[in-house]
Chain A
Amino acid sequence: MTVIDQSGISLAQKIAEYRRYRTLFVFLALRDITLRYRQTLLGVVWAVVQPILPMLIFTVIFARVLRPETGPVPYSLFALSGLVPWTFFASAINASGNTFAANHNLLNKVYFPRAILPGAAVAACVVDLIVGEVFLLILLLWRGYRPTLEWLWLPVIFLLTACLALAVGVALASLMALYRDVKHVTPFLVQLWMYATPVVYPIQLLSPKFRWAVDLNPMAGVVEAGRSCWFGTPVNWTLLAVSALSGILIAGAAALLFHHLETDLAERV
Chain B
Amino acid sequence: MKTVSVRGLTKEFKLGRRRSQYRTVRGWFSRGTRRPAAPADARFMALEDVSFDACSGEILGIIGRNGAGKSTLLKILARILRPTSGHVELQGRVGSLLEVGSGFHGELTGRENIFLNAAILGMRHSEIVRKLDEIVEFAGIGQYLDQPAKNYSTGMYMRLAFSVAAHIEPEILLIDEVLAVGDAEFQKKCMQRIEQVGKHGQTVLFVSHNMQAMLRLCSRAVLIEEGKLVEQGPVTDVAATYLRVGGDNRGERRFPEGPFAPGDSVARLRHVRVRSRGGETLAAVELNQEFGIEMELDVDTPSMVLFPVLIVNNEWATEVLWCTDVDTEWHGRPRPTGRYRMVAWVPANFLSSGPMSITAAVYSLAPRVEHFREPDVVSFQAVETYGNETARGKFTGYIGSATRPKLEWSVDYQK
A residues neighboring B (CB under 8 Å): 1-6, 8, 20-21, 23-24, 26-28, 30-31, 34-35, 38-39, 105-112, 177-181, 263-264, 266-269
Query: B103 contacts A110, CB within 8 Å?
Result: yes
In whole Å, how far is B369's beta carbon from the nearest beta carbon of chain A? 19
Q: Which residues of A contact B81 (CB under 8 A)?
A: 264, 266-267
Query: A112 contacts B17, CB within 8 Å?
Result: no
The verdict on B52 contacting chain A, using a C-beta distance below 8 Å, is no
Q: Which residues of B contact A268 (CB under 8 A)?
A: 17, 22
Contacts A35-B107, A110-B96, A267-B81 hold; do A20 and B86 have CB atoms under 8 A apart? no
Query: A28 contacts B116, CB within 8 Å?
Result: yes
The contact of A27 among B22, B78, B99, B116, by CB within 8 Å, is B116
Query: B122 contacts A20, CB within 8 Å?
Result: yes
Query: B103 contacts A4, CB within 8 Å?
Result: no
Contacts A6-B83, A264-B82, A267-B81 hold; do A180 and B103 have CB atoms under 8 A apart? no
Query: A110 contacts B102, CB within 8 Å?
Result: yes
Using A38-B107, A266-B81 as known contacts, list a sample of 17 further A-B pairs with CB atoms less than 8 Å apart, ordered by residue number in A: A1-B90, A24-B119, A24-B122, A27-B115, A30-B112, A34-B112, A35-B105, A109-B96, A110-B121, A111-B80, A179-B24, A180-B22, A264-B81, A264-B82, A267-B17, A268-B22, A269-B22
A38, B149: Cα distance in complex, Å: 14
In whole Å, how far is A30's beta carbon from the nearest beta carbon of chain B? 8
A110, B170: Cα distance in complex, Å: 14
Query: B112 contacts A31, CB within 8 Å?
Result: yes
Contacts A31-B108, A267-B13, A268-B17 hold; do A26 and B86 have CB atoms under 8 A apart? no
The verdict on B84 contacting chain A, using a C-beta distance below 8 Å, is yes
A1, B3: Cα distance in complex, Å: 9
A112, B26: Cα distance in complex, Å: 32
A110, B120: Cα distance in complex, Å: 7
- In the complex, the chain B residue whose C-beta lies closest to that of A111 is B79
The verdict on B368 contacting chain A, using a C-beta distance below 8 Å, is no
A106, B120: Cα distance in complex, Å: 9
In whole Å, how far is B59's beta carbon from the nearest beta carbon of chain A? 20
Q: Which residues of A contact B99 (CB under 8 A)?
A: 109
The contact of A3 among B75, B89, B105, by CB within 8 Å, is B89
Q: Which of A2, A28, A181 has the most CB of B within 10 A?
A: A2
Q: Which of under 10, 10 to 19, 20 to 34, or 35 or more describes the interface residues of B?
A: 35 or more
Query: A5 contacts B103, CB within 8 Å?
Result: no
Using an 8 Å CB-CB cutoff, how does the interface string of B10-27 with A read, 1 for contact, 0 for none? 000100011000111110
Query: B23 contacts A23, CB within 8 Å?
Result: no
Query: A180 contacts B80, CB within 8 Å?
Result: no
Q: Which residues of B contact A27 (CB under 8 A)?
A: 115-116, 119
The contact of B125 among A26, A105, A106, by CB within 8 Å, is A26
The contact of B105 among A1, A4, A24, A31, by CB within 8 Å, is A31
In whole Å, how far is A211's beta carbon from the nearest beta carbon of chain B? 31
Q: Which residues of A contact B79 (CB under 8 A)?
A: 4, 111
Q: Which residues of B contact A31 (CB under 8 A)?
A: 105, 108, 112, 116
In whole Å, how far is A133's beta carbon from the nearest beta carbon of chain B? 28
A20, B121: Cα distance in complex, Å: 11
Query: B87 contacts A181, CB within 8 Å?
Result: no
Query: A35 contacts B24, CB within 8 Å?
Result: no
The verdict on B331 contacting chain A, using a C-beta distance below 8 Å, is no
A1, B171: Cα distance in complex, Å: 11
A69, B91: Cα distance in complex, Å: 67
A23, B168: Cα distance in complex, Å: 14
Tell me the B37-95 residues at the A interface (CB within 8 Å).
75-91, 94
Q: Which residues of A contact B75 (CB under 8 A)?
A: 108, 266
A30, B125: Cα distance in complex, Å: 13
- In the complex, the chain A residue whose C-beta lies closest to that of B86 is A5
In whole Å, how far is A204's beta carbon from the nearest beta carbon of chain B? 38
In whole Å, how far is A50's beta carbon from the nearest beta carbon of chain B? 21
The contact of A111 among B87, B96, B112, B125, by CB within 8 Å, is B96
Q: Which residues of A contact B98 (CB under 8 A)?
A: 109-110
Query: B124 contacts A20, CB within 8 Å?
Result: yes
A267, B84: Cα distance in complex, Å: 13
- In the complex, the chain B residue whose C-beta lies closest to that of A39 is B107
- In the complex, the chain A residue whose C-beta lies closest to that of B78 is A111
- In the complex, the chain B residue whose C-beta lies closest to that of A107 is B80
Q: Which residues of B contact A111 (CB under 8 A)?
A: 78-80, 94, 96
Query: A177 contacts B22, CB within 8 Å?
Result: yes
Query: A110 contacts B78, CB within 8 Å?
Result: yes
Query: B76 contacts A4, CB within 8 Å?
Result: yes
A48, B185: Cα distance in complex, Å: 51
Query: B123 contacts A23, CB within 8 Å?
Result: yes
Task: Identify 5 residue pairs between A and B in the complex whose beta-carbon atoms are under 8 Å apart, listed by A's number.
Answer: A23-B123, A26-B119, A178-B23, A179-B23, A264-B81
Q: Which residues of A contact B89 (CB under 8 A)?
A: 1-4
A16, B120: Cα distance in complex, Å: 16
Q: Which residues of A contact B103 (CB under 8 A)?
A: 106, 110
Query: B13 contacts A179, CB within 8 Å?
Result: no
In whole Å, how far is B14's beta carbon from the nearest beta carbon of chain A? 9
Q: Which residues of B contact A26 (CB under 8 A)?
A: 119, 125
The verdict on B218 contacting chain A, using a C-beta distance below 8 Å, is no
A217, B108: Cα distance in complex, Å: 39
The contact of B80 among A1, A110, A179, by CB within 8 Å, is A110
Contacts A24-B120, A27-B119, A106-B103 hold; do A5 and B125 have CB atoms under 8 A apart? no
Q: Which residues of A contact B18 (CB under 8 A)?
A: 267
